Amino acid sequence: MKATMRDMDIGEKGKVAGFVKGATTYREKLLAMGLTRGTEFTVERIAPLGDPVEIIVRGFALSLRRDEASALLVERGVG
C-alpha cells in the first residue's frame, strides 16, 4: 500500500517507493540524505504537532520536516 511518510505511525516500518509528482524541491535533498528507492526505514518519533518526523534509516537517525515527509511515497508494513 503506497502512502506518504506523514501517514505513518511511530514504530511502523516502511520502504521508499518514490516521490510525489511536483516535489522536485525536496527530491534532490531526500536523495542526498540516502532516501533512495527501496531503502527501508522505521519511524522512531513524531513531534506532538507532527513536525518533525524522526526515522531510522541506514543505521542513523534522520529528522524530516512535514513538507519533506509529504514528498516521499512509501510502502507501509515492510519488514
- Give me 77's grid cell: 508494513
pLDDT at position 79: 63
Structure confidence by residue, pLDDT tens digits, 7-65: 888 999 999 998 888 778 888 888 888 899 999 999 999 998 878 999 999 999 999 99
**What CATH number should be reported for the domain holding residue 56?**
2.30.30.90
Task: List 61's β-bridge partners, or say none.
Answer: 56
> Quick check: 63 and 54 in contact, CB under 8 A?
yes
| pTM of the predicted protein model | 0.83
* Separation of alpha carbons 74 and 62, rounded Å: 16
Number of domains in the chain: 1
Q: Which domain holds residue 27?
A: 2-76
